[in-house]
Amino acid sequence: MAHRVCPWWLGYFLVSPIRRWLTKPEPIIAPYVRPGMTVLEPGPGMGFFTLPLAAIVGDNGKVIAIDLQQKMISRLKKRAERAGLARRIDARISGANALSVGDLSNQVDFTLAFYVVHEFPEGHPFFREVAAVSKPGALLYIAEPAGHVTEADFETELESAVKEGFTITDRPHIKRSLAALLRKA
């Protein structure tokens, strides 16, 4: 599959009321996120899931949102400030081929990789980094856009995650998506 990064200007559509009408973030994340958790969100864009995640984790939790594009992170920070959630969000810029999260070793309870794994040049290094920061028993929720990512490519992503110590525990249904929930051993 070709490596392509979502252009920053598309981020405005990704946080629009139209998208929220089509896909509500809370029903997707609420069963897996609790107050006090540390959540990793690679590729948050302008914060469609980040703000609801921050609301759920509460004052004792944290969301680490990592994006390659400065404009996405800048807009996410502005939205978080307006929502009163900025203290709960650690917004970072990643490298082109890595999340650069070595400081989070064994700290993450939940990772949401929503429509992002296909944007990495290779999935295996991504899953290696996620595994390194995940606590034993931590959950990894992967969703990819159906049609844009083929079922065969999605299964290859899952195989890479399994090689890094994750086990597939569920295949949640999300409209127009391929999705899986995995748990770190």
For 73-117, what is each residue's pLDDT tens digit? 999 999 999 999 999 999 999 877 788 898 999 999 999 999 889
Structure tokens at 124: 């295996």
Q: How far is CA 151 from CA 113, 144, 154, in A?
A: 16, 10, 5
C-alpha dihedral (26, 61, 128, 117), degrees to nearest 10: 30
The whole-number pLDDT of residue 18 equals 54
Count the residues in the chain.
Answer: 185
Segments of the chain scoring below 50 in pLDDT: 1-3, 9, 11-12, 15
Do the Cβ atoms of 156 and 166 come closer than 8 Å? no
Look at the domain 24-184 and name its fold.
Rossmann fold (3.40.50)
The whole-number pLDDT of residue 95 equals 78
The whole-number pLDDT of residue 148 equals 87
Kind and range of the H or E element at 166?
A: strand 166-170
DSSP per-residue codes, 88-113: GEEEEEPPSS----GGGTT-EEEEEE
The whole-number pLDDT of residue 22 equals 56
The whole-number pLDDT of residue 14 equals 54
Question: How much is the pTM?
Answer: 0.87
The whole-number pLDDT of residue 94 equals 86
